[in-house]
Structure 1
Amino acid sequence: MKKETFSELSDIFLRVINRYNEIEKTPYSYGTDILLHPSETHTIEFIGNNPDINVTRLAELLGITKGAVSKRIKQLRKNDLVTKSISPETENEVVINLTVKGSEIYKAHAKFSKQLNKSIANLYKYLPDEVIMDLERIGTETEQIFLDISNERKKR
């Protein structure tokens, strides 16, 4: 690959990352009166996908600490988006579920995600399977490079 081509691809990739990061930092209301940060919306998404979920499992799914989950749940409860209750399975476990308002946001976010995925899928639908497989491999290997850098920086 020519140096200029790699440089152009690298620039495009960086711009895509920056656009994604911009979206991930921008609060959105999903048609309600509550502005939610994407991290809160993703938490609602995981709770909606996993009714009666506990804090430990939610932390695992989100890839964050239980303390961070507890903080998010506190904020979401404050906005009447989730409930905490004793598990129907065992008395010493607390489970989290969506309220009616939380379910509205869950559904609106699902609709947004479906449309976004459809738009992106349309970009790839005419590519040969071999190219798709190459893109998947490159994406996975690029992710590993970033994970290695992240882990190395955490050591310092």
Structure 2
Amino acid sequence: MSKTINVLNELLVDLFNDILTIEQRALSEGEFKDLSITEIHTIEAIGMYEARSMSEVAKDLEITVGTLTTAINNLVKKGYVERERLEGDRRVVLIRLTKRGKLAYRIHDKFHKDMIRETIQDLSEQEEEVLIHSLEKLNRFFKSKYNLTSKEG
């Protein structure tokens, strides 16, 4: 059991660090080198299709609207996001991706899909099911143990 714990710990830590490193490298070498990982995840939370309120996006990212405002200010300056006030209630600020923001979203989404395809390409259907089941259990454990909310998506 001790060997299993050590191996799994090493694998999880390595995977987590590697994914972050790969994401950062992909960003820094690509067309969107002006984006940080946090900014690309903010773009991801805004989504492709509909304008969303600042409070909705802040809730999804589990940050305050104040923290999101700082991030959105930077993304507006860089040309990835635009904001507008709701006609009926000028206090509500809606944000949406610009054409450039949507392109960054699509490229990041493709990166994730490619990563998953590579991960499962040589697995049997049974191995895929075991992997999914194991990751779901791990995910549920982390969410219950550390009071995390479930991300839609």
Fold match, TM over 0.5?
A: yes
Residue aligned with 1:28, SS: helix
Amino acid at match of 2:6: S
| Alpha-carbon distance in structure 1 between the residues aligned to 2:22 and 2:144 | 23
Q: Relative to 1, partners in 2 of residues 1:140 and 1:36: Cα closer, same or farther, differing over 3 Å?
A: same
Residue aligned with 1:51, SS: coil
- After TM superposition, the structure 1 = structure 2 runs for residues 62-141 of structure 1, keeping only pairs within 5 Å, are 62-88=61-87, 90-122=89-121, 125-127=125-127, 129=129, 132-141=132-141
Over the matched positions of the two proteins, sequence identity in percent amounts to 26
Displacement of 1:93 in angstroms is 1.6
Asked if 1 retains the 8 angstrom alpha-carbon contact of 2:54 and 2:68, the reply is yes
Q: Relative to 1, partners in 2 of residues 1:50 and 1:39: Cα closer, same or farther, differing over 3 Å?
A: farther
Q: Relative to 1, partners in 2 of residues 1:50 and 1:87: Cα closer, same or farther, differing over 3 Å?
A: farther
Q: Relative to 1, partners in 2 of residues 1:110 and 1:11: Cα closer, same or farther, differing over 3 Å?
A: closer
Asked if 1 retains the 8 angstrom alpha-carbon contact of 2:80 and 2:97, the reply is yes
TM-score in terms of structure 2 length: 0.76
Asked if 2 retains the 8 angstrom alpha-carbon contact of 1:30 and 1:108, the reply is no
Partner of residue 17, structure 2? 18
Asked if 1 retains the 8 angstrom alpha-carbon contact of 2:58 and 2:64, the reply is yes
Asked if 1 retains the 8 angstrom alpha-carbon contact of 2:48 and 2:105, the reply is no
Q: Relative to 1, partners in 2 of residues 1:104 and 1:49: Cα closer, same or farther, differing over 3 Å?
A: closer
Asked if 1 retains the 8 angstrom alpha-carbon contact of 2:48 and 2:102, the reply is no
Range 48-57 or range 121-130, more displaced: 121-130
Stretches of structure 2 that go unaligned for 5 or more consecutive residues are: 149-153
How many residues matched?
Answer: 147
Displacement of 1:140 in angstroms is 2.3
Stretches of structure 1 that go unaligned for 5 or more consecutive residues are: 151-156
